[in-house]
Amino acid sequence: MPGVHEVVHPLIKRHLTVLRCETTRPAEFRSSVRRLATLLAYEATKDLATTVAQVQTPVAMAQGYELPDRIGLVPILRAGLGMVDPVLDLIPSAEVWHLGLYRDEATAQPVRYYDKLPPGQPVDTALVLDPMLATGGSAVAALQTLYDWGVGRAKVLSLIASQEGVDAVASQFPQAQVFVCKVDAELNDQKFIVPGLGDAGDRSFNTI
Ligand code: PRP
């Protein structure tokens, strides 16, 4: 279903609390990012196509399944990097296509700096990985790039979002799906999510 999906689960609530806490150190922050990415990806991949493939168990033949579609993980540098390995663990056959976007501190507009998507060879389903969706500018820029590439479906996985941000994505790309752990109410004057969790990239990589 297109639209915004806030995934409600006790484990998500708990690990998001660890992410929010200002005394959480980078190593624990990264662990919580991994756990939340796994939980979010489980929910976001419920509608992946499967095809039947027989499998020989040590006892007998059984009905098994394969994932026929090309699935692309699209982490937004830098902070999205922390979500790649846990999702790749769930989908080992996925391709990983990095997009470099940073938010200009003065204008809060996304600035593109890395994109090596091969023309003419789009994946069937793209999972955009970025812990934060604030104004939505970075997610919109990533989705525009992916639809221009020709992806069939795109889903954005963010750990924390603002209402303004998810509204911006939904209005520009109503066909996209957005999976978030929590939508916070607002942005402050610096376009930070309130209450949010600070800057996920800096907290992940210990560059505060
Ligand atoms: C953060 C975050 C998103 C973006 C969200 O990245 O990881 O990419 O900002 O903001 P937006 O919704 O208003 O576009 P940042 O620019 O801090 O880069 P970094 O990951 O390299 O720290």
103 lines ligand 1 (CB under 6 A): yes
Report residue 168 as tokens. 């911006």
**Confidence band for 105, pLDDT divided at 50, 70 and 90:** confident
Q: Amino acid identity of 85?
A: D
Beta bridge partners of 54: 63
The per-residue pLDDT for 145 is 97
CA 62 / ligand 1 centre spacing (Å): 46
The whole-model pTM stands at: 0.96
63's enclosing H/E stretch is strand 61-66
Q: What's the full length of the chain, in residues?
A: 208
As a whole number, mean pLDDT of residues 6-28 equals 98
Residue 201 belongs to what domain range?
A: 3-205
Q: Which atom of ligand 1 is nearest to the CA of 110?
A: 14
The domain that holds 47 is classified in CATH as 3.40.50.2020
Output Rg (C-alpha) for the chain, integer angstroms: 17
CB atoms within 10 A of CB 128: 30
The residues, any chain, with a CB within 8 Å of residue 201's CB and separated by 6 or more, are: 78, 79, 207
79 lines ligand 1 (CB under 6 A): yes
The residues, any chain, with a CB within 8 Å of residue 136's CB and separated by 6 or more, are: 162, 164, 165, 166, 167, 168, 169, 172
**Confidence band for 171, pLDDT divided at 50, 70 and 90:** very high
At which residue do the structure tokens 């639209």 appear?
3
37 lines ligand 1 (CB under 6 A): no
Residue 36 has pLDDT above 90, yes or no: yes
Domain count, the chain: 1
135-148 residue pLDDT tens: 999 999 999 999 99
123-133 residue pLDDT tens: 999 999 999 99
CA 132 / ligand 1 centre spacing (Å): 6
CA 93 / ligand 1 centre spacing (Å): 27
11-to-6, 17, 110, 181, 196 alpha-carbon distances in Å = 14, 10, 32, 10, 18
Burial of 70 (0-12, 13-18, 19+ CB in 10 A): middle
Burial of 56 (0-12, 13-18, 19+ CB in 10 A): exposed
How far out from the chain centre does Cα 181 lie? Answer: 11
CA 48 / ligand 1 centre spacing (Å): 28
As a whole number, mean pLDDT of residues 20-30 equals 98
3-state secondary structure of 55: strand
The per-residue pLDDT for 1 is 66
The mean of the pLDDT values for the chain is 97
Burial of 204 (0-12, 13-18, 19+ CB in 10 A): buried
69-96 residue pLDDT tens: 999 999 999 999 999 999 999 999 999 9
ipTM: 0.97
Sequence-ordered alpha helix ranges (H) in 125-162: 137-149
